Structure 1
Amino acid sequence: KKIDSPQILFLTTAGHRECNLIEVKKNFFLLKVEMGVPRLSSKDIPFDDGSSHEKIIDYPLSINQKIYPITVLSLGNPHCAIFVDRFPARIEWHQIGREIESHPFFPNRTNIEFIRALSREEIEVLFWERGVGETLSSGSGASAAAVASILKNLTDKKVKVRTTMGQLTVEWEKKKVYQSGPAEVVLKGNFFSN
């Protein structure tokens, strides 16, 4: 059933984030979560190639004598988006992910999203998470992929994001990014607050 969106406020390392409960069906919940305001300037990401950039869209990053046009942003953590017509073989995108993750232009290392734009409303993403490697899904990664797609004018401001683990919807409303998707009960407990 649809409900009057009770709101929870979370304190994260990236600041306060609101979470709204949109719908409930037995043990299935549809949530809309604020992902924050994308930071696009090189100093805010951080991205350091020796120059200052307001936005980093299609920057020609050289890896092993090959140029990758990257779009870079932060949603509390750095993200590097690479757009492809088809996904490279797993061994290849793992190698690219490792190389870019620790590239000297990213002083805090970076997460990498390999993105296929399927239409103005939908993208498909593979994730390479810094310090982890291949990840089946990522909240900030899905949001960063959508923002990068919007920045490149490949999609509208509301985007379905297909991941290995399922689908999310990302919207860039005014300044903030919001993500909607399913959640299931996996643990029950008590929460105490003062």
Structure 2
Amino acid sequence: MRSMRFLIMNGAGNRFAVFDARSQPSFVISEEKVKVICKPGSAVMGEKGADQLIIIRDPKSSGADAFMEIWNQQGFEVDACGNATRCAGWLFMRDNDVDSMVLETNAGLLLCADASSAASKNQVAVDMGPPKLDWAQIPLKEPMHTHHVDVKLGPIDNPVLHNPGAVNMGNPHCVFFVEDFEQAKPDKVGPMIEYHPLFPEQVNVGFAKVEAKDKIRLKVWERGVGMTLACGTGACAAVVAAVRQKRTERKVEVEVDGGTLFIEWRESDDHVIMTGPVELESEGTI
């Protein structure tokens, strides 16, 4: 039996089981094995478990340095994960002593760059590209404007949550703007919206509290995972949705339960830049 490099990493608390399969191109993993590894209390990941399982492979495209597969706790593959992108990018840059790299995912090519400073170690910036905002790109079940989508919870004449923004950042997001997390109940509402019939591919559900024009407090119910300490694409989606609803500026500090992410939706080229921390918890072979 061959061994493989295995790492446990997190990005702002978003935790990953990382398999480096660049030396073993035939490596595959089953849905059931993903569930076993990611489950809290597993022999591999310990009490906390993993939000996602990541497999790093050789690139498929000539313009990329590495390819990243992303599997969620339920054992199915997803196209994008911002925090995992930072982790994989940091790992490649450390291994190869470079300050930038291009990571390939099912959502496209993502440029990663070292953004560390004397005050903030292990910071990585990722160009997440432009957000997808057309209803068919989210995707939604039927045509509608996506700066507000027709989803309401509570009494028709006085809904508790309503008019979320819809954004695709490599995966679909629905972002509600709230005044009070206790009243919004993200852990109860999240699974209801994840499977809402308007979203045929399910949806990540964000609950964003705007604290200032340049600051958001965010909680995310991640499809296939549940409540998570951080969601990089969710932070990007929250800022895009907030700008479209004229709630914030284009440069925003996003505080999540696991840390802080800095998001800029550039007006010059429409790209979203996400900067945040990476932590290597352990490294060895499996």
User: Which residue of the other structure, out of 178, 191, 195, is the alignment partner of 1:84?
Assistant: 178
Distance apart, 1:97 and its partner CA = 0.8
State the one-letter code of the partner of 1:18: L
Match of 1:111 in 2: 204
Q: Tell me the distance in 2 between the aligned counterparts of 1:13 and 1:65.
A: 40
User: Which residue of the other structure, out of 177, 182, 185, is the alignment partner of 2:277?
Assistant: 182
State the one-letter code of the partner of 1:87: F
Kept in 1: contact 2:187–2:227 (CA 8 A)? yes
Bigger-Rg structure (1/2) = 2
Gaps spanning 5+ residues in structure 1: where?
A: 190-194
Identity of aligned residues (%): 31
Superposed structure 1 runs of 4+ greater than 6 Å apart: none
Distance apart, 1:106 and its partner CA = 0.2
TM-score by length of 2: 0.59
**1:49-88 alignment, distance < 5 Å:** 50=142, 52-53=143-144, 55-63=145-153, 65-66=155-156, 67=159, 68-88=162-182
Distance apart, 1:94 and its partner CA = 1.8
Q: Tell me the distance in 2 between the aligned counterparts of 1:36 and 1:100.
A: 26
Kept in 1: contact 2:186–2:219 (CA 8 A)? no
State the one-letter code of the partner of 1:58: H
CA RMSD between the two structures: 2.3
Change (3 A) 1:64 1:180: same
After superposition, the C-alpha distances for 1:80-113 in whole angstroms (9 at most, x for unaligned) are 00001111358x3222111110001100000000
Kept in 2: contact 1:63–1:100 (CA 8 A)? no
Change (3 A) 1:26 1:149: closer
TM-score by length of 1: 0.85
Pick the structure with more helix per residue. Answer: 2
State the one-letter code of the partner of 1:139: G
After superposition, the C-alpha distances for 1:111-132 in whole angstroms (9 at most, x for unaligned) are 0000000111000001100111
The count of aligned residue pairs is 182
Distance apart, 1:34 and its partner CA = 1.4
Change (3 A) 1:12 1:40: same
